[in-house]
């Protein structure tokens, strides 16, 4: 009788029990899954979650029903804290716990739509001309369904999971981000093992049907809205007085409009310009390859800042957006107000910037009130497992394209989650030309192509698979 050493026996058993990844997973019927995802997105768009008032509870219940059918644990949370017909949604697909979790986050609310300005009912979820139409198709119910179906595909296909996948739907992102703030403050225990988070905050560049680059948002500007108020004495408009607050307010706004905020290159933006330099001929290529130096040259500076996106990447911005005085032409108002949309680069000090604005105005009769306090500064690292998984999945799709890091100039819920130490990225799994984003996102006739739905689900599936 031949005796086999115990150590050798254990090794043999381990080898026998090992099954290659490809043998453990079931193939995904991508065409079938795409059609299923399209139908679910159309149904989701039919749920009117216009904010205000939101009514996100209906959306949370809809998503929970799908998760329940798939055997993925899900909870509707924060109904009391968020108010009538509002809620957050939380779900988790379990892994083996060897690595920390990845969270997929979207917001369930949408901005208002004026039906008379649309060519189709904004809450019809209609499939027409190769598109799914409806408010939220781009911002951001389309992404929410792509995230949901990618997670479901991971479960159905049996991909070995070293990480839990967390799925979150938040209320009220479009106004004050109350949903994300409440979720983070009340449920840190549900997020304590989350290492990475994906949500909105970057758009891929597509030109003539070709992908130029895939974008991952690593940084985000901080919203610092201000209201300017000047008090006066109300009187009849036929007899002008020096106590009219409107001219004083207008003078202050003119000074602000003429103020050029200093230029400043953050690390992620520097990388973005170096990445895209390859797309341009000289001398533009050299300018973008060293944007800090280029901004010191008047001609180069003028060319770079002529792009409204690049200009916003490189400085704190101020937009004059609201003005109120009298509600009657022949009445001098007792008070005049103006709202300004201030967006700060992530490494800027809000208090110092506000003092600068006061100096620019130079009038103590103009009072500043902060309407929205800035969120946590956000600039995430790129040498991470999830970033590399995005790069790998992007290369699978478009080997000639590259992955870069533009700054998000608007606002998302990412900084709210960043407070817990989570590395957050803005990412869109879709290929949408910029004019279509500009026209449809917060505009009229918002829509997402049916091809993009399946593309986005598959893209996110691969990212989640590679990040395991």
- Tens digit of pLDDT at every position of the chain (468 positions): 444 454 444 444 433 433 344 446 899 999 999 999 999 999 999 999 999 999 999 999 999 999 999 999 999 999 999 999 999 999 999 999 999 999 999 999 999 999 999 999 999 999 999 999 999 999 999 999 999 999 999 999 999 999 999 999 999 999 989 999 999 999 999 999 999 999 999 999 999 889 999 999 999 999 999 999 999 999 999 999 999 999 999 999 999 999 999 999 999 999 999 999 999 999 999 999 999 999 999 999 999 999 999 999 999 999 999 999 999 999 999 999 999 999 999 999 999 999 999 999 999 999 999 998 898 899 999 999 999 999 999 999 999 999 999 999 988 999 999 999 999 999 999 999 988 998 899 999 999 999 999 999 999 999 999 999
Six-digit token string for 406: 């533009």
Distance between CA 3 and CA 8 in Å, rounded?
11
| Domains detected in the chain | 25-218+380-466 (3.40.630.10), 222-370 (3.30.70.360)
Contact predicate 445/217, CB 8 Å: no
Dist CA 204 CA 457 (whole Å): 15
pTM of the model: 0.86
From CA 145, how far away is CA 141, in angstroms rounded?
6
Residues 6+ apart with CB under 8 A from 413: 105, 107, 170, 173, 177, 179, 180, 199
Contact 45, 145 (CB under 8 A): no
Check if the beta carbon of residue 338 is closer than 8 Å to that of residue 320: yes
């Amino acid at each position: 009788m031949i005796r086999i050493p115990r150590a050798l026996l254990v090794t043999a058993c381990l080898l026998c029990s090992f099954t290659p990844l490809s043998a453990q997973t079931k193939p995904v019927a991508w065409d079938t899954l795409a059609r299923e995802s399209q139908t679910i997105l159309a149904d989701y768009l039919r749920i009117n979650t216009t904010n205000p008032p939101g009514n996100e509870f209906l959306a949370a219940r809809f998503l929970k029903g799908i998760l329940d059918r798939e055997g993925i644990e899900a909870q509707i949370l924060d109904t009391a804290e968020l108010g009538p017909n509002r809620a957050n949604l939380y779900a988790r697909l379990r892994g083996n716990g060897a690595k920390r979790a990845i969270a997929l986050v979207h917001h369930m609310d949408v901005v208002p739509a004026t039906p008379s300005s649309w060519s189709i009912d904004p809450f019809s979820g209609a499939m027409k001309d190769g598109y799914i139409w409806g408010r939220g198709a781009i911002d951001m119910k389309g992404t929410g369904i792509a995230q949901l179906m990618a997670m479901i595909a991971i479960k159905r296909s049996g991909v070995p999971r070293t990480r839990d996948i967390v799925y979150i739907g938040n209320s009220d992102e479009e106004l004050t981000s109350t949903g994300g703030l409440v979720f983070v403050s009340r449920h840190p225990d549900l997020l304590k093992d989350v290492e990475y988070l994906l949500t909105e905050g970057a758009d891929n560049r597509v030109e003539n049907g070709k992908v130029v680059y895939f974008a991952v948002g690593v940084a985000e500007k901080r919203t610092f809205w201000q209201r300017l108020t000047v008090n006066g004495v109300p009187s009849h408009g036929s007899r002008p007085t020096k106590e009219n607050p409107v001219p004083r307010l207008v003078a202050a706004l003119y000074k602000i409009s003429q103020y050029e905020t200093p230029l400043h290159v953050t690390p992620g933006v520097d990388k973005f310009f170096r990445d895209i330099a390859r797309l341009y001929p000289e001398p533009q290529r050299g300018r973008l390859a060293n944007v800090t130096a280029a901004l010191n040259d008047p001609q180069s500076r003028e060319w770079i800042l002529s792009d409204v996106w690049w200009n916003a990447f490189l400085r704190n911005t101020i937009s004059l957006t609201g003005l109120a005085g009298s509600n009657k032409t022949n009445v001098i108002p007792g008070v005049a107000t103006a709202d300004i949309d201030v967006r700060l680069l992530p490494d800027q000090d809000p208090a110092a910037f506000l003092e600068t604005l006061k100096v620019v105005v130079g009038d103590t009769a103009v009072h500043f009130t902060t309407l929205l306090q800035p969120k946590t500064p956000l600039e995430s690292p790129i040498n991470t497992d999830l970033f590399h998984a995005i790069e790998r999945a992007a290369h699978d799709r478009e080997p000639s394209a590259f992955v870069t890091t533009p700054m998000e100039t608007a606002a998302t819920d990412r900084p709210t989650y960043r407070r817990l130490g989570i590395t957050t990225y803005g990412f869109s799994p879709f290929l949408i030309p910029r004019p279509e984003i500009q026209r449809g996102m917060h505009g009229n006739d918002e829509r997402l192509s049916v091809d993009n739905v399946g593309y986005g689900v598959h893209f996110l599936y691969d990212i989640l698979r590679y990040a395991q």
